[in-house]
Amino acid sequence: MTALILVGIPFGFFVNNFSVLALDAISWNATLIGLVTTAVGVVDIVIQGALLGFLLPRLGERGVIISGVVTQAVGLLALALVASILAQPWLFVVGTLALAAGQGAATATMDGVLANSVGDDEQGWLAGTTQSLSSGIGIVAPLLAGLLYSQLGHAAPYALGCALMVAAVAVLSRAPFPGGAALNERAQVQSV
């Protein structure tokens, strides 16, 4: 659950703040922001609908989740750069799409791992708990993103988000995965 929080807060920052960043940093209008938002949705559909079936057997759950979180960290770093020293539309698009791709892969796989970690009689409890966490993040993240953005600088929510993603990688690297070997163990078995 810790990893869900560490990954959820930065994405909450993004969802609630990226249009303001687009207006402030690269002077985009509502049409361009809408096009990028559409691209985020398309990337999410492609990742979850097609690529996860390809990636999971090759990387395993841990590998997909950690790769997704690292991809999100790269996207957040790109957005922090856009907000601070490199206000370029191409970097905004790359950062946004990287964040979307990583989120789609990591979150869907984490949901599956969590669901497989409890019995049938605990699925309702798990769904309620994860939904409560998501709702809590949905309350806290916009407030925190706005405060960071306005008081510490436009890059602050994205820099903090990147740091939270790094912390999530540390947590996930040590977390036990039910019924699954670590990424390096799978790679060793496949190479034999």
DSSP string of the chain, one letter each residue:
-HHHHHHHHHHHHHHHHHHHHHHHHH---HHHHHHHHHHHHHHHHHIIIIIHHHHHHHHHHHHHHHHHHHHHHHHHHHHHHHHHT---HHHHHHHHHHHHHHHHHHHHHHHHHHHHTS-GGGHHHHHHHHHHHHHHHHHHHHHHHHHHHHHT-TTHHHHHHHHHHHHHHHHHHHS--TT---HHHHHHHHH-
The pair of structure tokens assigned to 171 is 């947590």
The residue ranges of every structural domain in the chain are 2-176
Give the pLDDT score at 179.
Answer: 56
Average confidence (pLDDT) over 98-106: 95
List, for residues 24-79, the tens digit of each pLDDT value.
Answer: 999 999 999 999 999 999 999 999 999 999 999 999 999 999 999 999 999 999 99
Written as six digits, the tokens of 24 are 């402030």
Looking at domain 2-176, its CATH superfamily turns out to be MFS general substrate transporter like domains (1.20.1250.20)
Q: What is the pLDDT of residue 182?
A: 43
User: What does the pLDDT look like over 146-188, one tens digit per residue?
Assistant: 999 999 999 999 999 999 999 999 999 998 876 554 444 443 3
Q: What is the pLDDT of residue 79?
A: 98
Q: Are 133 and 124 in contact (CB under 8 A)?
A: no
Per-residue confidence (pLDDT) for residue 187, from 0 to 100: 38
Per-residue model confidence (pLDDT) at position 1:
78
pLDDT number for residue 192: 36
| Residue owning tokens 């057997």 | 57
Match 């807060």 to its residue by tokens.
9
Contact partners, residue 136, CB within 8 Å, separation at least 6: none
pTM (two decimals): 0.88
pLDDT at 178: 67
Give the CA dihedral 179, 61, 5, 2, nearest 10 degrees.
30
